[in-house]
A and B are shown apart, each in its own frame.
Chain A
Amino acid sequence: MTTMTIAKAINEGLRATLANDPKSFLMGEDIGSLGGVYRVTEGLKAEFGAHRVMDTPLAESGIVGTAIGMALRGHRPICEIQFDGFVFPAFNQITTQLAKIRTRSDGQLSAPVVIRIPYGGGIGSIEHHSESPEALFAHTPGLRIITPSNANDAYWMIQQAVACQDPVIVFEPKRRYWLKGGVDTDNAPADPFTAQVVREGTDATLVAYGPLVPVALAAANAAAEDGHSVEVIDLRSISPIDFDTVEASVTKTGRLVVAHEAPTFGGIGGEIASRISERCFYSLEAPAIRVGGFHMPYPVARVEGHYLPDIDRMLEALDRAFAY
């Protein structure tokens, strides 16, 4: 077990992929000599060469569109989109092409492209640098979407994404890039497309993913001081969603709170609330409650603290659940 930051863990995961899979390569803006704006790819160009770590023109549709072509030729492109808010020029290629090639070809073609996207707020940045667009992609059949919340998952998920035959988007919690954790480089963790109970409890289930998992754990600890035992689930996979793990938890606890940074309207939380309401109707003591961003474009940095779900917002939601 080695301790490293999430950014370093992704870097090591990419290094292992490049070393193990000769068909794999990285492509994106500023990922070569600079090592990426978050230095996630630092040192990889020096080690593997410009051929395996390609600086591309500044064109996101071009990055994903050419990656699709290379994947059709049998290569394994790993694209970096520099920031969440800059993925939209590639939205057409991702949703109308990448996601549909398997279906269009009646199952004969695969385009196993991996797209890494740093996402989420809390870094005091300017417009387009703090968004959480995961629901827009989760709504698109044909894509898989995962998001690590800790260094061990970060190290393994990127490698598992590259090994997957389907296109995978890896949303990286950028404000947690410097969060340290233990990484077991010898033993891969669970299937990346499953959720994990990261704190056991009996009174309520708090589901979070990516950057909000540490917040959810802190909220559960605070709730414990008030005598509430809160189970915390790290969703890990946004598409598919491991409803079985959530169902098992809510059947036990009877209460569900789902938290994400993205706006609650039309978001992942609503999907979980709906499915769990169906599956756990007779176990629920309270309606499923969502904690998330407001229905506004991601706000300016000076007020993002009011927008982002924090410990108090999660506790307030738990209190509402306990009030029933």
Chain B
Amino acid sequence: MGSAQQADTGTRPSAGVLQANTVGEGEMVQLLDAAGARRQDATFGPYVDALDADTLRGFYRDMALVRRFDVEATALQRQGELALWVPVVGQEAAQIGSGSAMGAADYAFPTYREHGVALTRGLDLADLLKLFRGVSNGGWDPRGVNFHLYTLVLAAQTLHAVGYAMGIQRDLAADSGTEPAAVVAYFGDGASSEGDVHESMVFAASYNAPVVFFCQNNNWAISVPFEVQSKVPLVNRAAGYGFPGIRVDGNDVLAVYAVTQWALEHARSGRGPVLIEASTYRVGAHTTADDPTKYRRNAEEESWKGKDPLQRMENYLRAGGLADEAFFDQLKIDGDELAAHVRQATLALGGADIRDKFATVYAEAHPLVAEELAWFENYEASFADAGSQTSQGGAA
């Protein structure tokens, strides 16, 4: 595996790496073409050359699992078991590739669509559905998996990510034994227009924070096309902040993995932030409440289906003899098992208890919260006295 040092001192930067002082449209890094044939790249190729067949199959496996999970979650929403679902179809390579590049000590700050990244961080995917079933606004302990809670006010999390990276720097300064780590800040082309993304890049550059800005440009912010957010590739912005930018084919899991490795090594080794723009496509709707037929053309959707990230990797694995039919058969079984687990776990979730919500507003005792909880308990008890059922607050 190529080290960051090698990557940085190459005589000629790879196509796709925009150095900080370069302005202009870079080519996309691609290690698998649309048909699944391997392409060479002096800078990023070595990251993939170092991988064994098991790891390569693992990339495909994770992409297939999260797609199967997505189908199940969509079905749960259609069956009335989830209030909403945010599909990830089409973006599996961008998420599995970047998430797989992260080390255990690295930390991810997702938006609300990073189900694939969650899988790579070791999260039980059923935990993601607590939010969409309305029983929690989070659903897991981020500290266990270094995967922060979903953030719905888009771009707010990019500042948290930079702050967390600055916290890593403070820990390193206080104790040189601290494990070097980097943070990945996920956001999309829509969120890139938010001021917090700008401020996060200003802070990251000023303090040389170990953060990788990972933008999944899926071309649509609900119904608004990318052209309304930016007239040039988002990667061009990196030059303005003074750090490297890389544009990568976001449907090529190998390329995404390689560029993210490069960027994480860059960040971990104290050389500051990197912006990655992964070009991909939101094949499905923004959410299950959306209707893409109202704002985009069928032909566009069809053209992107030809760039499917799973098909491309499957072609590569089959052509190279890296995976046999038994692998794909078993994966289908494993996917169905995951889906069954997610369904079972979701249906087994109890309702939320508003008493717990009183208890989690503040960390320390709070007289108003205590007073209102006491009132609520009395109010509830009044129903019990009358021999009727506990009030459900109209939410039943």
Contact residues of A with B, CB < 8 Å?
22, 25, 51, 56-57, 59, 61-62, 64-75, 89, 92-93, 96-97, 100, 102-110, 112, 141-142, 144, 164-166, 193, 240-244
Q: Is B7 an interface residue (CB 8 A)?
A: no
Residues of B within 8 Å of A22, CB to CB, are 174
Q: Contact at A62–B362, with CB atoms within 8 Å?
A: no
* B163-A61 in contact (CB<8A): no
Chain A residues with CB under 8 Å of B143's CB are: 108-109
For B50, the chain A residues whose CB sits under 8 A away are none
Q: Kindly state the separation between the CA atoms of A77 and B242 in the bound complex, as whole angstroms.
A: 26
Q: Is the CB of B167 within 8 A of A59?
A: no
29 pairs from A and B in contact (CB 8 Å cutoff): A25-B170, A56-B203, A57-B206, A62-B196, A62-B199, A62-B202, A65-B158, A65-B200, A66-B159, A66-B163, A66-B166, A68-B160, A69-B159, A69-B167, A70-B166, A70-B170, A72-B164, A73-B170, A75-B167, A92-B156, A103-B357, A107-B363, A108-B142, A112-B363, A164-B364, A166-B362, A166-B364, A240-B366, A241-B368
- Chain A: which residue is nearest B168 at the CB level? A73
Residues in A whose Cβ lies below 8 Å from that of B173? 51
Complex interface residues of chain B between 339 and 396 (CB less than 8 A to chain A): 356-357, 359-364, 366-369
Q: Which listed residue (A59, A73, A92, A106) contacts B136, Cβ 8 A?
A: A106
In order of increasing CB-CB distance, the 5 nearest A-B pairs are A69-B163, A65-B159, A73-B167, A66-B163, A62-B199
Residue of B nearest to A194 (CB): B367
Complex interface: chain B residues within 8 A of A65 (CB): 156, 158-160, 162-163, 196, 199-200
User: Nearest-CB distance from B166 to chain A (Å)?
Assistant: 6
Q: How far is the CB of A270 from chain B (nearest CB, A)?
A: 16
CA distance A73 to B109 in the complex (A): 13
Please name the residue on chain A nearest to B150 by beta carbon: A104
Count the B residues whose beta carbon is within 8 Å of the partner chain — how many? 46
Shortest Cβ gap from A298 to chain B (Å): 25
A25, A65, A193, A240 pick with most chain B CB within 10 angstroms: A65
**Considering only CB atoms, which chain B residue lies closest to A107 in the complex?**
B360
CB nearest neighbor in A for B135: A106
Let me know if A102 and B138 touch, CB within 8 A. no
Interface string of B122-148 (1 = CB under 8 A from A): 000000000000001110011100001
| Most chain A beta carbons < 10 A, residue from B163, B174, B362 | B163
- B104 within 8 A of partner (CB): no
Q: Are B160 and A105 in contact (CB under 8 A)?
A: no
Q: What are the residues of chain A within 8 A of B161 when measuring CB–CB?
A: 69
A107 to B368, CA, bound (A): 18
Q: Is the CB of B362 within 8 A of A57?
A: no
Contacting B159 at CB < 8 Å: which of A25, A93, A104, A106?
A93
How far, in Å, is B214 (CB) from chain A's closest CB? 16
**B171 in the interface, Cβ–Cβ < 8 Å?**
yes
**How far is the CB of B354 from the nearest CB of chain A, in Å?**
12
Given contacts A65-B199, A103-B137, 12 further A-B contacts (CB under 8 A): A51-B170, A57-B202, A62-B159, A66-B162, A66-B163, A69-B109, A70-B163, A73-B164, A73-B171, A97-B153, A102-B360, A105-B360
Task: Compute how far the CA of A73 lies from the CA of B356 in the bound complex, rounded to whole angstroms.
Answer: 25
Most buried by B among A64, A97, A104: A104
Closest chain B CB from A116 CB (angstroms): 18
B367 adjacent to A242 (CB under 8 Å): yes
Q: Please name all residues of chain B whose beta carbon is closer than 8 Å to the beta carbon of A62 when the two chains form the complex.
A: 159, 196, 199-200, 202-203
Take A57-B206, A66-B203, A75-B170 as given contacts and tell me if A106 and B361 are in contact as well, using a CB distance cutoff of 8 Å: no
B160 contacts A102, CB within 8 Å?
A: no
Chain B CB within 10 Å — which of A66, A69, A89, A144 has the most? A69
Task: Please give, as numbers and ranges, the residues of chain B lying within 8 Å of A240 by CB-CB distance.
Answer: 366-368
Is A165 in contact with B159, judged by CB distance below 8 angstroms?
A: no
Does B363 contact A74, Cβ atoms closer than 8 Å? no
A70 to B207, CA, bound (A): 13
Question: Is A165 touching B364 in the complex (CB atoms < 8 A)?
Answer: yes
Distance between Cα atoms of A4 and B81 in the complex (Å): 62
B177 at the interface (CB under 8 A from A): no
Q: B202 contacts A69, CB within 8 Å?
A: no
- Interface pair A102/B164, CB less than 8 Å apart: no
Whether A107 pairs with B359 at a CB distance below 8 angstroms is yes
Q: Are B199 and A59 in contact (CB under 8 A)?
A: yes
Q: Please tell me if B80 contacts chain A, counting CB pairs below 8 Å.
A: no
A11 to chain B, nearest CB (A): 23
Q: Give A99's nearest chain B residue, CB to CB.
A: B361
CB contact between B160 and one of A72, A164, A193 (< 8 Å): that residue? A72
B313 within 8 A of A: no
Question: In this assembly, does B84 line the interface, its C-beta being within 8 Å of a C-beta of chain A?
Answer: no
* B159–chain A nearest beta-carbon distance, Å: 3
List chain B residues, Cβ under 8 A from A103. Answer: 137, 357, 360-361
Please name all residues of chain A whose beta carbon is closer than 8 Å to the beta carbon of B167 when the two chains form the complex.
69-70, 72-75
The reply on B29 being an interface residue by CB < 8 A is no
Please state if B196 and A70 are interface contacts (CB–CB under 8 Å): no
Contact of A104 among B138, B206, B356, B364 (CB under 8 A): B138
Please report the C-alpha to C-alpha distance between residue A164 and residue B362 in the assembled complex, in whole angstroms.
Answer: 10
Tell me whether B321 is interfacial, beta carbon within 8 Å. no
Question: How far apart are B197's CB and chain A's nearest CB, in angstroms?
Answer: 11
